[in-house]
Structure 1
Amino acid sequence: MPLDDHPRDRTGRDLREPDSSTTRSLNRRVVLKASAGLAALTAAGIAVVTPSAERARGQEVGGTRAREWTPDQQTGAFAAASTGAWVTFEADYVFFALGASWDGGVGTWPIVEIQLGADGSTWNETIPLAAQTDDGGQPTRDGRLFTPLAFTDAVRFVRYRTVDSAGAPGEVAGLRFVYIDPSDGPWDDDISAGGELTSASTDPLAPPEVVTRAEWGADERWRFDTFGEVWPPEYQTVTHIIIHHTATANRPLDVAGAIRAIYYYHAVSQGWGDIGYNYLVDHNGRIYQGRFGGQNVIGGHAYQFAIGSSGISTIGNFQTEEVTDAAKSGLVAITAFVARALDPRGSADLQEAPNLPIISSHRDVNATTCPGDRLWNDLPEIRELVAATLDSGQLDTGNPAGIAVGDLVRV
């Protein structure tokens, strides 16, 4: 595997280079499986350009379907919401992720309580959605405030009510919902398990295997609007690694689909033009390319601290649950590669943060609970594991990263 400043896919292709296959149309297929559980997603990113609202309406690009629903589409919805009654609507198709947004002038008081169901008569547990204020981004498309993205099993019906923190009902100006079906695209079992495990790499500092944007089904058209590229890549030498969690279900059955939903919500719904993270790592230790542009591209994950850092997000919620051994191994592998010229045990200034550890977390630079208490508590161990990896001179860790055939891992 060639050694340079850029990770490569399994064929040796530079991940900075666009692949024509990323713009292919994907044929819709029958949904056979869905993400497990209901969870809220804390996404991150910086809105560099404010595109028009038309980009997020009725999108059916590539293979991912996404549409918006607003209360003005249903008679009596506004009146019902003002009294605290549940408002029910039916989506045009089965979906697996849902987010809400409203006019920025409303502020952060609303809590949108949602319940989801397959038939409109039985409902899952209530999920409270509030505006993201700790996501590392800026006010997004048209100055709107967005909630986290909630993942679900296959459903078609939504009911909601809008209340404040005390439970008092209220009408929310500009309320919109976006529901996303990312199931038509590569699934986990469509993605190669990775290269063969070898006893030694010919390149002592070879990067770990990375699932490319093409492999997880990124539609590169989402990065553009009628005026051109929404968020053109800009570059800054990376001096720090910032660790995140997505706060989603910890073991989604289809990680590639979940990433496509995140990508759509970042790139199109919120108008950023791309996914905010530089890399993502799943519970099996598999590493995914995030932001387009390769090494040193500025992501959107920690406000101004994204400049000069690489944002690596572990898929899952690690506030109370431990990171799997495989996920930790994958996190160490990609962190070691990105930090291969840095001192993982050291500290340095980053923007307004003096003497910040080279390997830090979102909560170390912004007011947030990310990456969860359990993952944050693992940071000292992760720093030592990265240092040991670099000291060994061996970055090529096989797949899953650092897990050999026959190893027992905690899942």
Structure 2
Amino acid sequence: MSLLSPAGYAQVADTAEAQIQRDRLHLRAADWQPRAKAQTGIQVDEAVRLREGATTGQVTSAPLRLPFAVNGLGTHWDATVPQDAVFDVEVRVSPNGTDWSAWVAPGHRSPVPATGEGTQAPNTYAGDTAGGLVLTEPDTRYAQVRLTLRALAEASPILRRLSLYVVNATDGPAPPPHVTQKQRPRSAPDTSKPDLSTRDDWDARPPKADYRYYTASHLAIHHTATSSAGAADTWEDCASAVRAIQDYHMDTNGWIDIGYNYLVCQTGDIFQGREDGDDSRDVVGAHDGYNEGSVGTAALGYFHPPENQQPSSVLIDGYIHLFGWIADRRNINPSGTSTYYQYGSLRNVYGHRDVKATACPGDHLYSERSAIVDSLDGVVTDTSESDTTDQPDPPEETILSKNYPNPAQSQTRFDLQLSKGGVVTVMVYDVLGRRVARRRYGYYDPGTHTISLRTAGWAAGTYPYRLVVDETVSTGTIRVLR
């Protein structure tokens, strides 16, 4: 295993900002060989791959002692994954090499582009796939990585290198006065500007290039995939997590700044992310792929299996207050649907999974989307008249497509053509008639929409489903291959 960083081992930021330690550990083929010998499905030569004839294999790295105590780590890798193959990465951490956290899959996979966002400077790890940063307890000194490879045909995933970016961003300023003096609960949701922890408050790095701007029309809900072992329980914990995320986004993803416009902590504190403080304009983030018109907000937590954190009531209050302020300024109807650049018609308040094949923002936070919208409808000025401007006529009849792709691996989708609005629900059963999933997507306006359903955790097999929109019912079967 090699430990490298752009400016030497255990690199420390030498700036007026918070002192941040960062480093990168590289696992190459030789580092996996000792463990792979005991695995029947894995072969290691110049790369990690499946043995001939094997359709699945798993290998776990040796425990890795980190160069310093960290509060965040992120994985990125150089791999070839054929269309019918699966390559999964999981990590777990420990303070002492004995007491380990649960395995966590770093979500938010994104390709590292050839050049940095907004610049012509080449990215060192161009072509890699970057997972999301996993936040940990600040005394974390050990990590392990587990790989799972699957192939439906002869073409195996091939891993040439996996890198682990580690960061210690716990050194930072004290909470600002509005945090130390605040009193909860707030009396009621309103559209006033919430108390924000500004970039100066949490000691943000300056962006690498100029921001781009696009007037907001949509409000996005994400989560940061923070393991429960690193749950942020204080403002200081939240600030150090935000610094670590910014560091990873800038130094691995090649972005000019943190990807999110705002971040909301379990404490209810709201952190200004990729924003410049000018409320008359909206900064384009880097959270959905295309981001023109969407304000990306991330909840600090992991609201999905295996962590299953539950969003706190003050975190939900933070979302309502933040979204109420933005929606009122931008004339956004919280319960409406409008065109989102490159994605077509989309609910104005949506979850990341509505536009990408991802679990984000996690089942437990995504299920709060409807309650957030209901609260916003009570405080945001009615904008229904402006929302109907230039909207196409609704379809003459309601048509619910069969799911595609079918067979599916990690996700399948349904196209909806709605002549009138209605609540969308999908129920999935096994062949014995036992319900294995129920997804309530909430109310959709008349028009055309696409919903997604994750199948990544399901066993191979055939699953009958029932898709219901208002009084219209469509049935079929989802085939899942592994």
Identical columns (%): 26
Counterpart residue number, 1:101: 76
353 and 130 in structure 1: CA distance in 2 versus 1, 3 angstrom threshold? closer
Question: TM-score w.r.t. structure 1 length?
Answer: 0.68
Aligned partner of 1:293 among 252, 255, 276:
276
Trace 1:59-98 onto structure 2 (pairs within 5 A).
Answer: 59-61=11-13, 62-71=18-27, 77-80=31-34, 82-83=36-37, 84=59, 86-98=61-73
Name the structure with the higher strand share. Answer: 2
Q: What is the DSSP-based 3-state SS (H/G/I as helix, E as strand, rest coil) of the residue aligned with 2:378?
A: helix
Distance in 1 between the 2:368 and 2:60 partners? 44
1:127 aligns with 2:127: no
1:184 aligns with 2:171: yes
Q: What is the DSSP-based 3-state SS (H/G/I as helix, E as strand, rest coil) of the residue aligned with 1:339?
A: helix
89 and 247 in structure 1: CA distance in 2 versus 1, 3 angstrom threshold? closer
1:365 aligns with 2:355: yes
348 and 189 in structure 1: CA distance in 2 versus 1, 3 angstrom threshold? closer
Q: What is the DSSP-based 3-state SS (H/G/I as helix, E as strand, rest coil) of the residue aligned with 1:103?
A: strand
1:117 aligns with 2:94: yes
Distance in 1 between the 2:293 and 2:60 partners? 47
176 and 336 in structure 1: CA distance in 2 versus 1, 3 angstrom threshold? same
Counterpart residue number, 1:151: 135
1:330 aligns with 2:321: no
Counterpart residue number, 2:295: 310
- Deviation per CA, 1:205-230, whole angstroms, max 9, x where unpaired? 5411100011112122xx33xxxx2x
Relative CO higher for 1 or 2, CA cutoff 8 Å, sep ≥ 6? 1
Native 8 Å contact 2:79 2:157 kept in 1: no
Native 8 Å contact 2:94 2:100 kept in 1: yes
Native 8 Å contact 1:78 1:171 kept in 2: no
Number of residue pairs the alignment of both structures matches: 322
Native 8 Å contact 1:285 1:327 kept in 2: yes
336 and 252 in structure 1: CA distance in 2 versus 1, 3 angstrom threshold? same
Native 8 Å contact 1:131 1:145 kept in 2: no
Return the offset for 1:349. 1.3
1:239 aligns with 2:217: yes
Q: What is the DSSP-based 3-state SS (H/G/I as helix, E as strand, rest coil) of the residue aligned with 1:175?
A: strand
Q: What is the DSSP-based 3-state SS (H/G/I as helix, E as strand, rest coil) of the residue aligned with 2:196?
A: coil
Native 8 Å contact 1:187 1:256 kept in 2: no
- Deviation per CA, 1:354-411, whole angstroms, max 9, x where unpaired? 442222221222222222223222222212211222249xxxxxxxxxxxxxxxxxxx
Counterpart residue number, 1:272: 255
Return the offset for 1:55. 8.0
Structure 1 unaligned blocks of 5 or more: 1-52, 393-411
Q: What is the DSSP-based 3-state SS (H/G/I as helix, E as strand, rest coil) of the residue aligned with 1:87?
A: coil
Return the offset for 1:170. 8.9
Return the offset for 1:198. 12
Q: What is the DSSP-based 3-state SS (H/G/I as helix, E as strand, rest coil) of the residue aligned with 1:241?
A: strand
Counterpart residue number, 1:347: 337
Q: CA RMSD in A?
A: 3.5
Distance in 1 between the 2:351 and 2:9 partners? 34
Distance in 1 between the 2:159 and 2:185 partners? 58
Distance in 2 between the 1:365 and 1:351 partners? 11
Return the offset for 1:307. 0.8
Amino acid at match of 1:328: I
Return the offset for 1:336. 0.9
Name the structure with the higher helix share. Answer: 1
- Deviation per CA, 1:145-185, whole angstroms, max 9, x where unpaired? 1223222231223344544248xx99731321111111111
Structure 2 unaligned blocks of 5 or more: 38-58, 115-122, 383-482
353 and 255 in structure 1: CA distance in 2 versus 1, 3 angstrom threshold? same
Question: TM-score w.r.t. structure 2 length?
Answer: 0.59
Distance in 2 between the 1:177 and 1:213 partners? 27
